[in-house]
Amino acid sequence: MWLTLLYSCTGGAALLYALYRWVIPTAVQYHGGLALIWHDVIVERMLDTLTQSTRPQRLLGAVQKNATRGDPRSVVQAIDQFCRQKEWAMNVGDEKGCILDSVVSEVNPATVLELGTYCGYSTVRIASLLPPHAKLITLEFNPDFAAIARQVIAWAGLEDKVHLVEGASGDWIPKMTEQFGVKTFDLVFLDHWKDRYLPDTMLMEECGLLRKGSILLADNVICPGTPDYLEYVRSSPRYESQYFKSHLEYTKVEDGLEKSVFLG
């Protein structure tokens, strides 16, 4: 009887682990809504409770354990490995990250604004490709995320290239020239709250932070999606836009980046 019960418990535990580790993640790979609910709600809350830590803290631990201090590429690789093998996280990801890299290299910007730092993954990718004396300002609303991002950026050895600012984008965008001496941005990477893409873009226009030729690069324009922003940059005569088809970070769900050139 006890042996049967033991076998049943062991079998049940194995089944639950298989469901958690392989079956459900595979099943949601192609469905954006289900993937986000599973990874960004159910799994995150469960692991937070079990480990008494947060996802950003666990991601930082993976960086400190597996990445070489002062090596940005190893930091990126450690985060990608953590997100693909251990726990999904809402970074731009490896696939779209290559598109981000190519745009940064093409533009070779002297001034960059990143809206939405999260844990610093895309910040590290961008900062590692900037020319000497370039300025990267990254805004993060959540102070807990900002605290982790600072440590990730420092581990990559890029703290001297990055100015991380805590607060709401709507509050800080009008202060850019006064606080940081920036007249215009060569490149803006939008990866924060999706309902802020359009109002923040219009705010940057109003504040004169975009010059002719400034590039806006927006993530997650399909999943979760930014329909109002896409309609605006694709229909406005002030922009020339191009869509780069890809996938939602670490899944097979369609997503992409929208690159929009400000025409003045």
State the Cα torsion 170-232-209-245 to the nearest 10°: 100
- How far apart CA 185 and CA 212 sit, in angstroms, is 10
| Marked catalytic residue, from 114, 186, 219, 255 | 219
CA dist list (Å): 144 to 67, 140, 179, 226, 242 = 21, 9, 23, 25, 34
44, 191, 200, 255: the catalytic one is 191
DSSP H or E stretch at residue 213 = strand 210-218
The model's confidence at residue 31, banded by pLDDT at 50, 70 and 90, is confident
| Residue 23 confidence (pLDDT) | 63
The answer for residues whose C-beta is within 8 angstroms of residue 75's C-beta and 6 or more apart is: 63, 67, 124, 152, 155, 156
Q: Is 240 considered catalytic here? A: no
Of 96, 135, 161, 194, the active-site residue reads 194
Q: What is the mean pLDDT of the segment spanning 61-79?
A: 98
Using CB atoms within 10 A of its CB, is residue 191 exposed (0-12), middle (13-18) or buried (19+)?
buried
Cα–Cα distance list, 78 to 8, 81, 95, 162 (Å): 37, 5, 15, 20
The continuous run of DSSP H or E covering 201 comes out as: helix 197-206
What contacts 126, CB < 8 A, 6 or more positions away? 100, 104, 112, 114, 136, 189
**For residue range 105-145, what is the model confidence (pLDDT) as tens digits?**
999 999 999 999 999 999 999 999 999 999 999 999 999 99
Determine whether 220 is an active site residue: yes
% of the chain beyond a pLDDT of 90: 84
- Average pLDDT (144-164) is 98
For residue 147, give the nearest of 215, 59, 264 by alpha carbon: 59
CB atoms near residue 178 (< 10 Å) = 8
Contact assessment for residue 118 and residue 192, using Cβ atoms and an 8 Å cutoff: no
Q: Which of 135, 140, 220, 255 is catalytic?
A: 220
User: Token pair 């019960």 is at which residue?
Assistant: 5
Domains in the chain (CATH in brackets) are: 94-262 (3.40.50.150)
Clarify whether 191 is annotated catalytic.
Answer: yes
The DSSP secondary-structure symbol of 186 reads E
pLDDT of residue 15: 45
